[in-house]
A and B are shown apart, each in its own frame.
Chain A
């Protein structure tokens, strides 16, 4: 008999999000001297850059009357002014000027969140700032490496972030959701290996000697003009807590040694995904497709970005419908299949993070 503890449930439908973790707040190019507002982990955040170009994240509500600071303007050095009564804060969230008085109320502060810029993203820590160690930022190094090229976009997904993680941890759905681009029946027929190590989970799947689906045939022909024939296809899903999933994907001419490590006769991409909870029912889904061939072709960068955008649009629709069905059927449980092993390890890791924060509510 198996003992099921509160931290190893397999039937939680959606989980709260850990707060002691780095999430992507924005693409680096989104944050400018003109403040913007974004809801992150249920909390509105004002994002802007200082005169020196450093990104800043403050709670998007003035201490005084809670007017959104994001509607205000940035002033000299690192300051921002509330648009309502002109109270000015610095990047630490401390009031530096108050209207109609000669002193500043020492209590006048707004929360300031730790920020790190890395891998073309602005990362934010919404939890206990004394735990915000930049070494905990998930590895997305392909995003800013000279050996990889590509671009991505943001999806506003109308579902809990956990449902996006489930989606990416099991790619058998490609056969059904993405049948015209990357789906093929070998996906659900082939075996896979799931490995969990610490706060990482890897799911590896190889499909040998198959026809390349349309998306991959096009990529093969970009590198090997006129390519025809069978391929070996791989998908290696790499999860890193709390919500980053980088998928090593590609195809190589069948039998040329790709499974053994020689990928020279193939094309390789990384689907970079990192999901930021917006609310308990919506997510900011940042993705990019990076490739390690034809690095200087802006045409291929744009084609790949737009192609993947179309594929992910199919996921977006499914995820929204799934969340709506979950909400409409509160008395029904989740059941699990063998293919859910990766996703369930992710849930196990998230549950242990939540338990460490004292925020795991069993059978929520």
Chain B
């Protein structure tokens, strides 16, 4: 059934909040207008950060068949923009504003073979797909990558459910994933669905291109919240608007510019559409491109950036000591 992505905002009640891994909470919601959640779907949800309502997206990990219960899982990230801290403070009975399940990451039925790749909290977007593929008796491998067993949500349940079809790679147990080997297993009949840190997804994408596999068979979802470097505070200057704005660690450049009164163009706010693109005039530091709109070539050029997700950092190594100058990165831009 073709689901609509026109958002229907509704209230939902928090039914349960329980820890399922190091810093990861499983949150069960009861929406007031339940509809079936397809694999790959997510909900948008309003979180409260310093008294302000801000929209965040969370994948639906599992759902009752009729959608009366939706499960999401949230990782508390110390460098997050504040949403995950709010989510971890929820208690049963709390009311939230959410959308119905939205679909930007549909699972296609009928591929010859599937590889599902989840890195860390990315399992939330992938787990439901694996359940459906198992029910369909499809040929699938679920590859789950994490830094430590303790940090990997649902590992035990997934082992029980998927048996030999689950392949686990754990950094601190010396079984890290070798991406070229994984991509080497894909052929023209394989669809690969992935969700995880940007470095992992980028390595897979490079391997996929090198093997000359069809790009439409490589499916991924990013909510634009993963970067090459940890977020830092930086300064953005907009001569055209006579503005100098400090972008704090927990806020995007687009939000900081909006806070300062700049009228910005944007749509997806997750680094996909390219509408919030700004031209880079001058840069003291490096750009951490977190979008999927630019090609590698365009990211290397760095004459433009998508300010909804991408950031400036002090140095290309990510270590402040390597920075060419002291103090935060400074970027001078011209908005569209």
A-to-B contact residues, CB < 8 Å? 19, 43, 59, 90, 92, 94-96, 101-107, 109, 111-112, 114, 126-130, 132, 358
Q: How far is the CA of A112 from the CA of B295 in the complex (A)?
A: 27
Note all chain A residues with C-beta closer than 8 A to B221.
Answer: 106
Note all chain B residues with C-beta closer than 8 A to A358.
Answer: 36, 66
Note all chain A residues with C-beta closer than 8 A to B135.
Answer: 130
Given the known interface contacts A59-B2, A102-B295, A103-B292, the answer about A129 and B216 at a Cβ–Cβ threshold of 8 Å is no
Q: How far is the CB of A117 from chain B (nearest CB, A)?
A: 15
Residue of B nearest to A103 (CB): B295
Contact (Cβ within 8 A) A103 B294: yes
Residue of B nearest to A59 (CB): B2
Contact (Cβ within 8 A) B108 A130: no
Most B-side CB within 10 Å, residue of A112, A128, A130, A132: A130
Q: How far is the CA of A102 from the CA of B298 in the complex (A)?
A: 8
Q: How far is the CA of A342 from the CA of B214 in the complex (A)?
A: 51
Q: How far is the CA of A126 from the CA of B221 in the complex (A)?
A: 25
Beyond the given A105-B293, A107-B104, A127-B1, could you list 14 further A-B residue pairs with CB under 8 A, ordered by the A residue number?
A96-B215, A101-B274, A102-B294, A102-B298, A103-B294, A106-B105, A106-B220, A106-B272, A111-B2, A114-B109, A129-B109, A130-B109, A130-B135, A132-B109
Q: How far is the CA of A19 from the CA of B2 in the complex (A)?
A: 11
Contact (Cβ within 8 A) A105 B273: yes
Q: How far is the CA of A132 from the CA of B132 in the complex (A)?
A: 13
Q: What are 5 contact pairs spanning A and B, CB under 8 A?
A: A92-B216, A94-B216, A105-B272, A127-B1, A358-B36
8 closest A-B pairs by CB: A102-B295, A111-B2, A94-B216, A107-B104, A129-B109, A105-B272, A92-B108, A96-B216
Note all chain A residues with C-beta closer than 8 A to B294.
Answer: 102-103
Note all chain A residues with C-beta closer than 8 A to B106.
Answer: 109, 111
Residue of A nearest to B106 (CB): A109
Q: How far is the CA of A41 from the CA of B136 in the complex (A)?
A: 25
Note all chain A residues with C-beta closer than 8 A to B36.
Answer: 128, 358
A-B pairs under 8 A by CB, number: 59
Most A-side CB within 10 Å, residue of B106, B136, B268: B106
Contact (Cβ within 8 A) A90 B216: yes
Note all chain A residues with C-beta closer than 8 A to B219.
Answer: 106
Q: How far is the CA of A103 from the CA of B36 in the complex (A)?
A: 32
Q: How far is the CA of A94 from the CA of B108 in the complex (A)?
A: 10
Within 8 A of A (CB), among B274-297: 274, 292-295, 297
Q: How far is the CA of A275 from the CA of B104 in the complex (A)?
A: 33
- Cβ-defined partner of A107 (8 Å) among B109, B132, B215, B272: B272
Q: How far is the CA of A59 from the CA of B4 in the complex (A)?
A: 12
Q: How far is the CB of B298 from chain A (nearest CB, A)?
A: 6
Note all chain A residues with C-beta closer than 8 A to B216.
Answer: 90, 92, 94-96, 104
Q: How far is the CB of A130 from chain B (nearest CB, A)?
A: 6
Q: How far is the CB of B27 from chain A (nearest CB, A)?
A: 24
Given the known interface contacts A106-B220, A127-B1, the answer about A101 and B293 at a Cβ–Cβ threshold of 8 Å is yes
Q: How far is the CA of A106 from the CA of B270 in the complex (A)?
A: 11
Given the known interface contacts A106-B221, A126-B1, the answer about A114 and B293 at a Cβ–Cβ threshold of 8 Å is no
Given the known interface contacts A109-B106, A111-B2, the answer about A130 and B132 at a Cβ–Cβ threshold of 8 Å is yes
Note all chain A residues with C-beta closer than 8 A to B274.
Answer: 101
Q: How far is the CB of B128 from chain A (nearest CB, A)?
A: 11
Q: How far is the CB of B73 from chain A (nearest CB, A)?
A: 22
Note all chain B residues with C-beta closer than 8 A to A107.
Answer: 104-105, 268, 272
Within 8 A of A (CB), among B131-175: 132, 135-136
Within 8 A of A (CB), among B86-143: 104-106, 108-110, 132, 135-136
